[in-house]
Amino acid sequence: MNIHPLHSNYERPVRFTYPFCYEPHPLSCQAAAEVQQYIATHEEIRRDADNGKMFGVLVVESAEGLAFLAAYSGLLAGRNDWPYFVPPVYDAQQPDGHFKTTEREISLTTRLSPLTSKQMSQELQTWLFHQYQLLNARGEVKDLVDIWQEYYSRPKLRQRYPLPPGGTGDCCAPKLLQYAYQHYLHPVCMAEFWWGQSTKEELRQHLNYYPACRGKCMPILTWMLQGLDVDPNPETLGYEHMEIPTIYEDNDILVVDKPSGILSVPGRMEDYSVETVMQQRYPGSIVAHRLDMSTSGLLIVAKHIEAYHPLQQQFIRHEVKKKYVALLEHTGQGSGIVSLPMRPDPMNRPRQVVDMEHGKRAVTRYEFISDHLVALWPETGRTHQLRIHCAHPDGLSNPIVGDELYGTKGQRLCLHAAEIWFKHPISGEEMHFETTPDFL
């Protein structure tokens, strides 16, 4: 049975979940707990899931009342037909089906003509995408290729993303919504959680909730959610305006203590930032470097371009030294160096991944100050470098408290740029500043 009754006293949400940024509704958490119990008591499923797997739940209104659906991403123990879970949007695993039959033909052709084999593989993949006939809440149908090309309709984007990547359409959310629409079930709320260990590719924590992946699912869900009343994207609602304390100021520069939760510079959808606030006070000022929105701490602002350029050169030559402090989820001790090359995850931005072959050099020195508190000195400045070097199994294997991307979501990310050393861009004087984070 794919539809499971859900007996609950929780009130229904006013709108459906915005799947790319959400707090799971209590109904979703109740449904997820039942799925987790099911996984734990079915050995073959649990054994495979323990290696790391994303699961999803969709709470629905049925003719019999409140119920939920469950799904997993991709295959589970080599299967896509476990009876407790909804089926795939399209079943490409049938041994005698067109997809598997042609795959075998391509495998034989590879030995004779690699070029012909490649062309056949591309044609088969395109054929497969056309088999994904996806519904939306209005009952309209489009195949995956049309959905993808409509989403990336601008010529430059179309050229960059001509077709979906492999595996598109096999994530939890499309499976759940497709089954609900096919069976005339009204979606109420949804959530996705990770089961099992954190892999080197997927830095996720057991039983934590995560948003749908943007790279593969954003075009699909933009289509499939049409006709539903969906929560607004929190990223479009603006951020809280905060006081930005000034640590030091002269005629050329400022050093500020950026709070967690404010951008360093204007973003794609949000203009409010340290730089825009400083520009209102001091027209022409420029932030000389950046901290992640969730990271607090010391930030240098140049009041004019003559101060900005020398500061930039110091950063380029790695002459600026920075010390961060972080509160970690687990105890630790000792000191050392983490060297794990990194690159962006194009299918799941803003997440970054460790890639030993194609990643850029990323090096961090660390020293534990106490059981949970660590000092971090980045020798390179990759996006999310400190967060990944703490969380990764080949790093400290110890996520930063409040890290919703690589650890467990909390009130704030407990990472703070605590000290900075640089030369004054005009006078050449050696400068050093220090602040204490609010989580200590």
**Catalytic residue annotation:** 292
Sheet containing strand 53-62, strands side by side: 4-5, 65-72, 53-62, 186-195, 209-210
DSSP line for 121-166: HHHHHHHHHHH-EEE-TTS-EEEHHHHHHHHT-SHHHHHH-SSPPT
| Beta strands in 303-362, from DSSP E residues, in sequence order | 321-327, 335-339, 342-344, 352-354
Compute the CA torsion angle 385, 390, 396, 401 (nearest 10 deg).
180
**CA-to-CA dists, residue 6 to 33, 305, 313, angstroms:** 11, 61, 60
Kindly tell me the sign of the dihedral angle through the C-alpha atoms of 161, 167, 172, 178.
positive
Exposed, middle or buried, 177 (CB in 10 Å: 0-12/13-18/19+)? buried
Which of 333, 338, 343, 286 minimizes the C-alpha distance to 312? 286
Are the CB atoms for 167 and 216 separated by under 8 Å? yes
Tokens of 316: 């380029």
- How, if at all, do strands 253-258 and 296-302 pair? antiparallel
- Can you tell me which residue has the tokens 């037909």? 81
Q: Torsion angle, CA of 230/232/235/241, rounded to 10 degrees? A: -150
Tokens of 27: 């109904």
